[in-house]
Structure 1
C-alpha cells in the first residue's frame, strides 16, 4: 500500500512538471525561454540571446567579456563566470553562480553523458549516478573502469562525503530528483549547485539533442557543441527531404511476465518514426492518461490485435537483452509468428545504447529511414534473420 501511494505521488509530481514545462516553454521561443535578462547586474552588459532551433526548455543570454546566463525551464538561472573574471556585486537574487572551469561534476542525468562525450569534456565529470556496467556509452564505461569517473550513488542516495571531499563543482540531475527533494536541498546546503536537466521533456526529438549547446556553455566548449548539434540536425534534415513511405511500425519489448511494453504516441520515439517517413502503429495510445510515463503496458492479445499488420516491427532491447535472431523473438511469444512483419522478414532490433545516445537522435532517425527504404549502413538498428 505504501509503495502504491509513493508511486502515485511520484507520478503526480512528474505530470505536474511536464504540464508546467509544456505550458511555459513553447517551441521556438528561444527569447522567452532565455527570459532575455538584460539587467541582472549593473556590471554586466547584455549583448544577445541564443537562437534555438528545436529546444524550448532552456535559454542562454550572452554578456560582454564572456559572461553567460543560462535559464532552465524559465525558473532556474545560472551565471557562468569565465575563468579569471569576478562575480558582479549586485547580481540579481536567485541566480546561481558557476565559476569556470567547472570540475568534478556529479552527473546523474544519464542522457547528458553522451553530450559530454561529444564535447570531449569527460574530464570535467568526476562522479556518475550509474555504475560502470550500466553504461552503454563506451567512453563513459571505460572512464569508470579506469577510475577516472567514480560511482557516487544514485539520485536518491548520493555519497555526500565522497562528493564533497572532491570539490564537486556542480550536480547535474534529471527530474527524478524532485521525487527526493531533500537530496537536492542537502546538496545545495553543502555548497554544491544543482542543475536539473529537462531535455527529456522536449516535444521535438532534436530539441533533446540541442541541449548540448547548454553543456557547451558550461564546459567552455561552445564551438564543439555547435558542431556536434549541427551534425545531428544535418542527418535529420537530409531525411526530412525524402517522401513519406506510408509504412507502419510497431516499437515494443516483452516484459518478464509476458506483457508488452510500447511507447505512448506522444513520446519522442514514435515521433522519430514519423520523422523518418513511417507511421507509428498506435495513433493515440496513452494520450488520454494523466501521467508523465512514456510507456504503456498491455496484454499480448491486445498488442496482437493492434500491431499484427504492421509493416515493420522493432524490438526495443535497451531494457532487456539484444536479440540474435527471429527465433529469439518468437521464444518470447509464439503469437508473434503470425505478425505480417515476421512473415515478410521485416523484423529489427535496437542496440543496447539507443536510449543513452542522446547525441545521435538525428542518426537514429536516419537509421529508421534506412530500415523503411531497405538501405544498409544502420548503426542503432539491425535486422533479425
Structure 2
C-alpha cells in the first residue's frame, strides 16, 4: 500500500510539473505595445511569438492565432493552439497589390514567388519581377491556380479576409494563410501600424519600426498644422457607380483623414466605418453646397470638367463643380493604393494642400490635382 501511495505521489507530481511547465511556456516574456491598431496583438515567448488577429466584424472573437517560430529552430513543445508560421517568411504568395507593395517596402520582394490580380500591381520592382516571370501569375484571387502554387513551392499566402468568406481549394494546401485585416482599421495610423507586424513576419523589424515611426511623426505634425485653421472647408468624395454612390461613413478611414486634414466631411453623421450606397439625389441634396469634391478614378487619360460632365450631366449641379474646386487622383498613373495604407502621411499631406494650400505653399501634390477644363 505504501508503495502504491508513493507511486501515486510521484505520478501526480510529474503530471503537475508537466502542466506547470506548459503553463509557464504559455506565459509571455513580453507583450508589444500596439499604440494605434485595434486589429492585432503580439506576445513574445522565449522560443516563439504569438500574433493574434482580432475578428474585425466581432471584436469579442479572435479571427486567427499565429505561432511564429524561427525557421532555423525546432518547433517548441507546449505552445497554445494556433497556426504555426515559420519566419522570416519565404516563398510568399500575395493576393493583392497592397501586400505585394508592403513586402517590397520592407525590402523582401525577392521572397515573393506568386501573385494574384497581377494586372493591378504597378510597384516598379514587383512589376519587373512579374514581367520576367520571377513572380508567377496565379490568376484571380477568387480562383487562384492551385497547381501552379504547389509547383512554385509556396509556403505562405498573404490575403485580405472578408466576412463569411473562405479561401476555397487554397485552404487544403496545408500552408498558412495569413489573414491581413489591416484594411479594416478605422484610423490611418492604426492601419499603418500593421507594418510592425509585417516586419516581424519578414524578419525586418528594425526597418519596419523605423518607417512607421517616421510615418507617425510626419502624420502627427501635419495634423497639428491643420488643427489650428480658422476656416474648415466642407468636403465630399467619390462619384456614382452604376445606380449608387458609395459614401464613406462618419466613422470611416477616409472620414478620419478629412478631419485630420482640417475639413468638415459632409457625411460625418452617416453611421458606420464602411461605405453606404446612396442614390444620386440623396448625395446631391446633402453635398450640393460643399466647397470641395474629391474623386479617385482609373483611366488612360486625365479627367476634365468636360469629361466629368459628359459622364453624368447632373454632376454640374454641385457648387464644387461650378466653382472649379474638384480635385482628382488618377490611380492609373500614381501608386495611390500601393502607398497610402502604410504611408498615410503621404495622403494627409495632399489633403492638407487641397483644403489649406496656404499651409504648404511650395508643395507639389503626390496624388491629387485640380481638374482642368
Which bracket does the TM-score occupy, shorter chain normalised?
A: 0.7 to 0.9
Q: Equivalent residues in 2 for 1:30-41 (5 A)?
A: none
Aligned to 1:341: 320
Q: Following the alignment from structure 1 to structure 2, what is the Cα–Cα distance between the partners of residues 333 and 75?
A: 42
SS at match of 1:85: coil
- Residues 284-299 of structure 1: pairs in structure 2 closer than 5 A: 284-285=269-270, 287=271, 294-299=275-280
Structure 1: distance between partners of 2:88 and 2:152: 15
Q: Does 1:240 align with 2:220?
A: no
CA distance in 2, matches of 1:125, 1:155: 15
SS of 1:341's partner is helix
TM-score of the aligned structures, taking structure 2 as reference length: 0.81
Q: Specify the alignment match of 1:165 in structure 2.
A: 151
What is the total number of aligned residue pairs between the two structures?
A: 335
Q: Secondary structure at the match of 1:331?
A: helix
How far the C-alpha of 1:39 sits from its partner, in A, is 8.2
Matched, 1:264 2:252: no
Given candidates 304, 324, 333, the residue that maps to 2:284 is: 304
Tell me the SS of whatever aligns to 2:153.
Answer: coil
Q: 189, 197, 212: which one pairs with 1:214?
A: 197
Asked if the contact 2:252/2:274 (under 8 Å) is kept, the reply is no
Shift in alpha-carbon separation, 1:227–1:308, aligned structure 2, 3 A: same
Cα distance in 2 between the residues matched to 1:248 and 1:231: 29
Structure 2 equivalent of residue 328 of structure 1:
307
Q: 1:379 to 1:103 in 2, by over 3 A?
A: same
Once the two structures are superposed, the pairs formed by residues 189-200 of structure 1 within 5 Å of their partners are: 189-200=172-183
1:114 deviates by 2.5
Structure 2 segments unaligned to the other structure (5+ residues): 1-19, 55-61
Within 5 Å, give how 1:107-126 maps onto structure 2: 107-126=94-113
Partner of 1:224: 207
Checking the alignment, whether the CA contact within 8 Å between 2:65 and 2:83 is kept in structure 1 is yes
Offset, 1:264: 2.7
Are the counterparts in 2 of residues 129 and 153 from structure 1 also a CA contact under 8 Å? yes
Larger radius of gyration: 2
1:321–1:314 CA distance, 2 compared to 1 (3 A) = farther
For structure 1, which runs of at least 5 residues remain unmatched after alignment?
1-37
Cα contact 2:219–2:348 (8 A) shared by 1: yes
Do the aligned residues in 1 keep the contact of 2:117 with 2:141 (CA within 8 Å)?
Answer: no
- Of 340, 343, 347, the match for 1:360: 343
Task: Say which of 143, 149, 159 aligns to 2:135.
Answer: 149
What RMSD over aligned residues (CA atoms) do the two structures have, in Å?
Answer: 2.6
TM-score normalised over the length of structure 1: 0.79
Aligned counterparts of 2:276 and 2:344: Cα–Cα separation in 1: 19
Cα 1:50–1:170 shift into 2, 3 Å = same
| Correspondence for 2:356 | 373
Counterparts of 2:195 and 2:283, CA distance in 1: 36
Q: Is the contact between residue 93 and residue 158 of structure 2 (CA under 8 Å) also seen in structure 1?
A: yes
Q: Which residue matches 2:64? A: 76
Instruction: Give 1:303 shift.
Output: 2.5
Distance 1:321 1:263 in 2: 26
1:50 maps to which of 28, 32, 37 = 32
